Amino acid sequence: MGKPKYYDFCVHAVPDGDSTAQELVSLARHFGFSGIALSNHSDRPPDRKQVLPSVEGFEVFRGIELVEEKTSKLHSLIGKFRNLTDVLIVHGGSEAVNRAALENPRVDILNHPAFDRSSGLNQVLAKAAAENGVAIGITLRPLLHSRGSRRIRLLSDLKSNLDLARKYDVSLVLCSDAMSCFDLRSPMEMLALAEVCGLEEDEALEAISTVPEKIIAKNRPGPGYIKKGIEVLEGEDLF
C-alpha cells in the first residue's frame, strides 16, 4: 500500500478569507497535502468560472460553500454550481437547510449542521446522508477558536453526529475551514486533533484521504465518460 494522499476541501481565500489563494496553496503543499479545494462562501449564482493557481505536483480544486436559508433557492444554486465545481459544500445550521442538503445527491459535503440545541443531525437525516452519498464535514477552525462552554457544546455536537455517522455508515470529511494561512494545519496535526475530538485513527485517515479522493473521482469521471449510464468503449471492449 502506498503512502496516503491528504486533502483539505474547505479553505477560504480572499475576499472570503485573509490570505490569497497562492499563499494558501504554497503553505498547504509545504505541509504535505496533495491538494486543497478553494471553497469560498457564496449565496448567488456564479458570474464566471473560478481561476485556480497552478502548482506542479499539487492539485487545486474548485470548491464552493453555499450559504442560503431558503431551500428553493439553495437547490437552484446547487444546480447552477454543480458543473462548475469539483467540491460542492452546503453551509448548514437549520433543520430545513440540513435536510435539503442531505437529500440532494449533487451535494458533496454538509458543513456546520448544528443549530440552537441540536447537533443538526438525527436518524432520518443520517439515513438520507448515507443514501445520497453526502458527507458530513468536521471543521477544525471553530473548535480551535472557541473556548469554555462554546467548545464543550461543539465537542458534544460532534460526538452526537459521530455516533449517527457510525450507525448509518455516513462518510466524514476532515477539513481546516481555514480563513487564513494561520488556520491551516498539517495533515499530521489534523489527524491528531481529530483523534482528540473522538475519531478513531482509521476514521480520521479516511476523512482526510479516502473520502476526498472518492468525491473527486465522482465529480471528475475518466476520459471515456459522457454522462451517467453512457461510456465510450474502445477496441476489444466493444465486443
**Angle between helical axes of 148-168 and 123-132 (0-180°, round to 10):** 60
User: What does the pLDDT read at residue 1?
Assistant: 57
Residue 43 within any structural domain of the chain = yes
- Tens digits of residue pLDDT in 74-103: 999 999 999 999 999 999 999 999 999 999
| In the chain, % of residues over pLDDT 70 | 90
Cell of 98: 440540513
Residue 238 within any structural domain of the chain = no
Residue 189 within any structural domain of the chain = yes
CATH code of the domain covering residue 12: 3.20.20.140
Residue 142 within any structural domain of the chain = yes
Residue 236 within any structural domain of the chain = no
Residue 239 within any structural domain of the chain = no
Coil, strand or helix at 81: helix
What pairs with residue 65 in β-bridges? Answer: 41, 89
Amino acid residing at 14: V
What DSSP designation does 134 have? P
Give the pTM. Answer: 0.91
Instruction: Categorize the per-residue pLDDT at 53 as very low, low, confident or very high, splitting at 50, 70 and 90.
Output: confident
Contact assessment for residue 154 and residue 146, using Cβ atoms and an 8 Å cutoff = yes
Residue 31 within any structural domain of the chain = yes
- Tens digits of residue pLDDT in 178-207: 999 999 999 999 999 999 999 999 999 999
User: CA-CA-CA-CA torsion for 112, 15, 24, 175, nearest 10 degrees?
Assistant: 10
Instruction: Categorize the per-residue pLDDT at 224 as very low, low, confident or very high, splitting at 50, 70 and 90.
Output: very low
> For the chain, where are the alpha helices, taking DSSP H only?
21-31, 71-82, 95-102, 123-132, 140-145, 148-168, 187-196, 201-205, 211-219
Residue 28 within any structural domain of the chain = yes
**Residue 218: other Cβ atoms inside 10 A:** 12
Per the structure, the complete domain to which residue 102 belongs is given by 7-231
Number of domains comprising the chain: 1
CA 33 to chain CA centroid, nearest Å: 15
**Angle between helical axes of 71-82 and 95-102 (0-180°, round to 10):** 30
Burial tier of 7 (Cβ tally within 10 Å: 0-12, 13-18, 19+): buried
